[in-house]
Amino acid sequence: MKSILSYNVNGIRSAVGKGLIDFLVEIDPDIVCFQETKAQPGQMHEDDFKRIGYHVNAFSAVKKGYSGVAIFSKQKPDHIEYGMGIEKYDVEGRVIRADFGDISVISVYFPSGTTGDIRQSFKMEFLFDFQNYLAQLRKTRTKLVISGDYNICRLWIDIHNPEKQQGTSGFLPEEREWFANFVADGFVDSFRVINQEKHQYSWWSYRAGARQNNKGWRIDYHMLTDNLTDRILDAKIFQDAIHSDHCPVWVNLDF
């Protein structure tokens, strides 16, 4: 078995200060995919994570205090790939891949389009370029776990008040259409294999009462190539873990 945790920590230093390491000791995932580390190498409490048994691999943005992804794992990866080979995304530190035997785990931080039209266009370009990157990768690495913050709610049950949110970045029709095509391309939403309930969210606005009233969005996923569907043993969202405006999402796979 391999348990994989994905967590947009909205600053790894801040999350460590809120008890992240104690949480990882308690949950004890084999692999942790972080997004939005907002830190450079040497700034991520690496020694503390190594002390609790993790190999540390990170890909930071060129811009300090921005974006950044990482994969921490109990088992040393066979290979690490930094970025997706497209400079405009790689300078933002959005993709890192670790290979374990015949399975590759990717930590990905999709762009947000909430700051305006330019970044929304950048986000849409990323969606199609990332899907093309995966299509090329699947020619040699056929079993993929793509964990991270997708910044999109896939289904109507993945967002509170969906009727009013259709004009909001993260729930735009074209974003959900991309996600539907992504699934049709041979990827499975591991959480929804296990749990079809409503109100299962992984991010809440900092606006007053959003988290307390569970007015959230499910935008963090472990998407798997469909040849791994029968390997899914369990999946859950740790909504009570509060180190970030996101919470961790977890999948247990038979590796």
pLDDT of residue 77: 98
Q: Which of 7, 30, 149, 158 is catalytic?
A: 149
Q: Which of 89, 109, 133, 221 is catalytic?
A: 109
Q: Which residues pair with 68 in a beta bridge?
A: none
Superfamily of domain 2-253: Endonuclease/exonuclease/phosphatase (3.60.10.10)
Q: To the nearest whole percent, how much of the chain has pLDDT over 90?
A: 96
The model carries a pTM of 0.97
CB 158 within 8 A of CB 193: no
pLDDT of residue 208: 83
Task: For 180-228, write each residue's pLDDT tens digit.
Answer: 999 999 999 999 999 999 999 999 999 889 999 999 999 999 999 999 9
Distance (Å) of CA 249 to CA 31, 120, 222, 235:
12, 25, 8, 8
Active site residue 109: yes
Task: For 57-112, write each residue's pLDDT tens digit.
Answer: 999 999 999 999 999 999 999 999 999 999 999 999 999 999 999 999 999 999 99
- How high does pLDDT run on average in the chain? 97
Task: For 17-31, write each residue's pLDDT tens digit.
Answer: 999 999 999 999 999
Distance CA 151, CA 237 (A): 16
Active site residue 226: no
Distance CA 100, CA 82 (A): 15
